[in-house]
Chain A
């Protein structure tokens, strides 16, 4: 009985560690677009302008729709810092103000869980969002940032 308990505790600890490794701290954050999007790589500057609402169209003229997971998702803090240069509280205030003055294009739409962002990007031709690499599925395309893909050395968008 005591041996069974020890085994259970060890199994839970291992599972927790595996979950943290797969989707927790320290992972890269992927920029994802619809598979029909012709863009494969994007500069960090263009990416920031897209999420800030300063660029509204893809090179083919289609409309860009920015999406973000909710602030509770672990990748949110890193992406907000990278894309907006803001802390989470600053970003919350920024989003409230954008809504208040009717400039909703300046902030990405809060889409809930990372899986929801992936699901929306998969069905909206002009959508772009950010999610943990572990949440990416084959239904979407991952963009390179300045020629670097998630996992490459020097990839700029990581959780830590």
Chain B
């Protein structure tokens, strides 16, 4: 017995042994490195590059044939940022963007909670169907989804034709190219994630708590307000956060289902970069958008952390 184990140990070549030992000591670094390389290459580096561009002079004019295209390399200036805060157009845009973020966050969370609660309460078969419904929007392309809205809600869409045919209305009801369609579009985009988050939190609640509350005299409404809702708040906060970040960065829905008055900072970034060919201004707006999200979201997350710490005691 002893001989065999000795033989096996000495059979290992010395060098791979050393390599394995080295890998064992630096396991965390090794495991993290693929992600690190990916993030450095495709996130941090482009962001730094963009930041540099936002601090360059803008080329003026259309960008074509007037010396410099897109931005003026080698220049350093805060002009783009200064212009943003001086210009009413940009300021209005920023305010609307934040408003849309808040509206999206609240509307999405409300709708998602309702659906997640139905999933939580449903029997096993209905649960599967409802979960499928929740993630269905992710089965198709965003553009298809958005154009689907036009097919259903447009002036000549299914819904309006139905309303006209039944005589409920005389003229088509404007349901697209307004705030309603923009928020609805955003909800459909965010819903699969927020529903799954809230449903997961709801399912983690011990069913005995429900029984206990009922046994102590709580009817269905009190069980919800005293037990289910407070215990699912972590999921609600995640959904609000998700909805806000997504809504503030909204691009597709305002662009395809909104109008010029419902454009967001993200749409403006696209207009500056791709239409006006002013990369410097586009980059500056992108950074301001990022700053808005960070400034508004960080205190919120800190608040959640404090609350969690308090609950642990």
- Same complex for A and B? Answer no
Binding site for A on B (CB under 8 A): none
Binding site for B on A (CB under 8 A): none
